[in-house]
Amino acid sequence: MTLKEFREKNSVLRYVSSHDQYRQISGVAAAQGEAIINGGYVYDSELLERFSELYPVEQVDAAGFAQTFEDITLAERESVFDLLQTADQVLRPFQCATDIKKYHELLKQTPTGHLSNCAACVQDSEVFYAVHILGQDNTAFEKAKPILSGKLRCAEVPHLTYGTLLLPLLRLNQPEEAARLHKIGYRLVSNSTALLGTISEHLLFLGITGEIAKAIQLLEKHFAFAFRAPDLNYRFQFYKAAKFLTERILLSNLKSIKIRMPKTFPNYKENGNYAVIDLDSWFGKEASRLASQFDSRNGNDSYMKNLGELKALHELSQKHLQ
């Protein structure tokens, strides 16, 4: 569908600024009869903003959009009480509470179409949920089978799925399979600016498995974009992975590394020689700053806890380097 055709069917051009937000709300937005544009691709958000001179344009926030849904009745709340209890248990580690809205019936009545999540994306979300919410690595692999077999795929799947499965494979003591998915998966995302979160997972994998030289090359290639990435969540993920890498380098007693950084980097050096402890300090401060911003906005400490998971990653690394 062209933008002109989209405009003819929608009085307002509503968009989200990242793939992550689009994956969160595109399905439920369609159930509400709302069409949302994925502005996560390079320059798309900027181009859409320019259209505001001609047509009404609105940037949508995933969290705020959910609050526009209709509240359920007391009777409906009683009918989903068990579901709410389960959801609250899952969200408790993140200090979040469940807030259910009336869109599910609309969602079931909405025919699938170009505005709906594709089957591959839905399945990938199941894999992500099993790993990051349930903490069930084996379940994740069961969910991933249709993707790994090639039965389900799209423009971003299996790219995202390969990244999600890297750490679970290491935790399940399958380093060879993890290395295979890294090799295939990174090739798929290496030239993408839209999948910085997945690139961060590959950076973590290289740091954990001791592939320091390759990790530095990956950091060098993608840092310039991460440094100015509009999606601050992806930027946080990348800085967290970079912080872990510099910690691993320090543990190897390597004091300095040669890496090309953009001239906009605050500690830029023309010769490319950087003290690892300085890089470690910078990435740590920036990751903590972003985590604090997110936690302040969300009213919890989930991002700081996420940053605190580096200790467990070091333990996983030690296990595989013995």
d(CA 321, CA 212): 12
Question: pLDDT tens-digit profile of 6-22?
Answer: 777 777 777 777 777 77
Last residue of a domain, one of 109, 137, 156: 109
102: pLDDT strictly greater than 60 = no
d(CA 33, CA 10): 10
133, 160: one domain:
yes
Angle at the Cα of 249 (from 160 to 226), degrees rounded to 5? 40
Q: Are strands 273-275 and 101-102 parallel, antiparallel or unpaired?
A: unpaired
Last residue of a domain, one of 89, 109, 129: 109
d(CA 233, CA 303): 10
62: pLDDT strictly greater than 90 = no
Task: Provide the whole-model pTM.
Answer: 0.70
82, 127: one domain:
no
pLDDT band at 63 (very low <50, low <70, confident <90, very high): low
Please provide the average confidence, as pLDDT, over all residues in the chain: 84
191, 42: one domain:
no
Domain containing 164 equals: 119-321
53, 143: one domain:
no
Torsional class of 220: left (φ above 0), alpha (ψ -120 to 50), beta (otherwise) = alpha
135, 266: one domain:
yes
CA distances from 148 to 1, 56, 60, 161 (A): 29, 42, 33, 8
- The number of domains in the chain is 2
76: pLDDT strictly greater than 80 = no
Least confident of 66-80, 100-114, 172-186, 233-247: 100-114
Token digits for 213? Answer: 């030289």
The answer as to whether 105 is a domain residue is yes
When pLDDT is averaged across residues 240-249 and rounded to a whole number, the result is 98
Which helix (H) or strand (E) segment holds residue 68: the answer is none
161: pLDDT strictly greater than 80 = yes
- pLDDT (0 to 100) of residue 229: 92
d(CA 195, CA 41): 9
Give me the amino acid identity at 235: R
Structure-model confidence comparison of residues 175 and 129, the more confident one: 175
Structure-model confidence comparison of residues 281 and 110, the more confident one: 281
149, 84: one domain:
no
* Percentage of the residues of the chain whose pLDDT score is greater than 70: 75
- pLDDT (0 to 100) of residue 18: 76
- pLDDT (0 to 100) of residue 66: 60
- pLDDT (0 to 100) of residue 306: 92
Which range scores top for mean pLDDT: 58-62, 92-96, 256-260?
256-260
33, 180: one domain:
no
Least confident of 43-52, 65-74, 124-133, 175-184: 65-74
The answer as to whether 75 is a domain residue is yes
- pLDDT (0 to 100) of residue 115: 41
The answer as to whether 194 is a domain residue is yes
The answer as to whether 114 is a domain residue is no
Cβ-based neighbours of 96, under 8 Å, separated by 6 or more:
298, 300, 302
Cβ-based neighbours of 50, under 8 Å, separated by 6 or more:
none
Question: pLDDT tens-digit profile of 265-322?
Answer: 999 999 999 999 999 999 999 999 999 998 888 788 889 999 999 999 999 999 999 8
**Is the sign of the CA dihedral 185, 190, 195, 196 positive or negative?**
positive
Token digits for 173? Answer: 């003591």
Give me the amino acid identity at 127: V
CB 142 within 8 A of CB 155: no
3-state secondary structure of 305: helix
104, 123: one domain:
no
- pLDDT (0 to 100) of residue 118: 76
State the angle between helix axes of 175-189 and 196-208 in degrees (0 to 180), rounded to the nearest 10: 150
52: pLDDT strictly greater than 90 = no
CATH number for position 143: 1.25.40
